[in-house]
Every structure is written in structure tokens, then in C-alpha cells.
A and B are shown apart, each in its own frame.
Chain A
């Protein structure tokens, strides 16, 4: 890429109102550093404090999902600490609202479980989501979960529109690219 191309690239990022984008390996250190960068950027963007908090929270949940569940992993899949897994995350502005998107590969056999988890959230009201959140808070940690089973509910609670998601089979592999979009 030459300087002119780089200028074009930067201009197109600005034109698309991309606030933040990262593609690469996610570790706890990377997530923490990105969270600082996102916070700094939002503080200087005259974003309302409540909106900033919602974006920050959704960002951490989506980024840590990649650290925990992407199957493109440099560290053993069973490892629970110091994980390094690949994916991407993006924050942008569309129609005067912030949105977050993330993408990471998942195993084909995890798709149905993810769909069953996410699809019901799309038709729930905010009260329904808060109720489900309170119920999940009181249940035992689900098997195989590295979190509390509260991550998507937390994002859904902060979103102003139903969560969007998509699965795209990756050619020639047994993995599926998992996309999530949250509009704040």
C-alpha cells in the first residue's frame, strides 16, 4: 500500500463512521487495552454518559466472547486462562446511533445452541430481558460456559434494537463464521 492508498483507506474508514476496528488475536491484555482506547475515544466524542457506559459494557462482553469462544485459537481449546483467540470487533455510527459488530469462527456443532440462545432475545421486551437476566443471575453457571450465561442478556439489555446475528459457513472447513450486531 502506498501513501495515496493509505489516505484513501483512512478516508473511507472516516466516511463509514467507523469509531474503532480490530482484527487479530484477543487476549485479556488486548481486551483491556482496547477498552481503554474505546473509553478515551467516547469521552472525547461528546457521547452521553449513559450511552458511553452501554457501549463500553457491550464492547467488553463481545470482545471477551471472542477471547473465550473463538475456535481460531493459539492456545489449547480447554485452557481457561491466558487465552489467545482470533476474531474482529467494530464500533461505528449509523443513523446517529452507535452499533457494535463482532465476528469469530465457531464450531459448526455450536451453531444451533447459539441460535437457540439468541433468537428468543430478539422478540423480548426490555422488561422480559431484565426478568430473564434476574432469573439467570440466580441459576447455577451453565455447563461449558466460561461466563455466567449473562453475556448476551447484558448486551441485549443495553441495546436499543433487537440483537442481530448471522452464521456463515466457511468454505472447506468445519467452522462457521458467527456475526453479532448490537445497536445501542
Chain B
């Protein structure tokens, strides 16, 4: 399969996987819903590969990443960490990457994971967005 970076990536949500709406052309990447697929490595493997291919292009655009996940299991957590690592690499190489991290105002687990991402991936412009309350 050839990877065409200009192609947008859309995967509709299922009962246990999030909606993936990566509009590479518009430089906006969105993940929304719940994430506990049977095989997180396979589910996110292709998404990460496509994102890396997109980020390998010239850093002439800001990238906005919206993550509004209400639950993710342990193996998804690991893969999300790898996705943010890829985005951080691009940010270190000069692309401005804004990460909007949406979470329920009283969801400590997702808040803490966001803080973890903020610490680990310092090149990302991290914005914590508490929802509800």
C-alpha cells in the first residue's frame, strides 16, 4: 500500500474505538470518543505511520491536534504516547504543534495523563481544556 500524505484519514467511531479525523490537508488532527480496541497496536500503528509521513513534509504550517477521549485503556495509552512522541519530534524540528487536551473537569486519570504528556513532550504547545463541571 502506498502512503499518500495528502490524503486525509477518517475512521468512524466504533463501540470501542474513537473517531479519527486527521485532515492533513487542513493541518487539523482530531481524536474523539473512547479507545479500547482489541489490538491497539494495529489500530494506532497505521494512524501513527500516516501521521509521521505527513509530518515529514515541510514545516510550513501550524498543526492543531484536538484530543477529546473520554476513556482509553492501557494499550491505547501506550500508543497515544507514541503518537504524541511523533508530534513532539516534528515540533522540535520547527513545526508549531498545538495540542488541545479535552477532559472531563473531574477526570483525574485523563488530567494526569495530560500533565504527563505536557512534561514529556515539552515542544508541544499543550492546552488543557476542562469540560463540564
Contacts and interface: CB of A to CB of B under 8 A. Distances in A.
Nearest to A158: B109
A114 to B, nearest CB: 16
Interface string B111-122: 000001000100
Interface of B: 15-16, 36-42, 71, 73-75, 77-79, 81, 104, 106-109, 116, 120
Interface size class of A (residues with CB under 8 A): 20 to 34
A150 B109 CA distance: 14
A1 interface: no
Nearest to B72: A57
A134 B77 CA distance: 11
A118 interface: no
A49 interface: yes
A55 to B, nearest CB: 12
A177 interface: no
A35 interface: yes
Contact of A64 (B38, B41, B79, B120): B38
A86 interface: no
A53 B79 CA distance: 21
Main secondary structure of the interface of B (DSSP, over half): helix
Given A28-B16, A137-B81, A61 B38 contact: no
A142 to B, nearest CB: 11
Interface of A: 28-29, 31-33, 35-36, 49-50, 53, 56-57, 60-61, 64, 67, 80-83, 134, 137-138, 141, 146-148, 150-151, 153-154, 158
Main secondary structure of the interface of A (DSSP, over half): helix
Nearest to B73: A60
Given A28-B16, A35-B16, A36-B15, A83 B38 contact: yes
Given A61-B74, A64-B36, A64-B38, 17 more contacts: A28-B37, A32-B36, A35-B16, A35-B36, A49-B106, A50-B108, A56-B71, A80-B42, A81-B39, A137-B116, A146-B75, A148-B40, A148-B74, A148-B75, A150-B75, A150-B77, A151-B74
A162 to B, nearest CB: 19
A150 B74 contact: yes
Contacts of A60: 36, 71, 73
B74 A147 contact: yes
Contacts of A137: 77-78, 81, 116
16 contacts: A35-B16, A36-B15, A49-B106, A50-B108, A53-B71, A56-B71, A57-B109, A64-B73, A67-B38, A137-B81, A138-B81, A147-B74, A148-B40, A150-B78, A154-B74, A154-B77
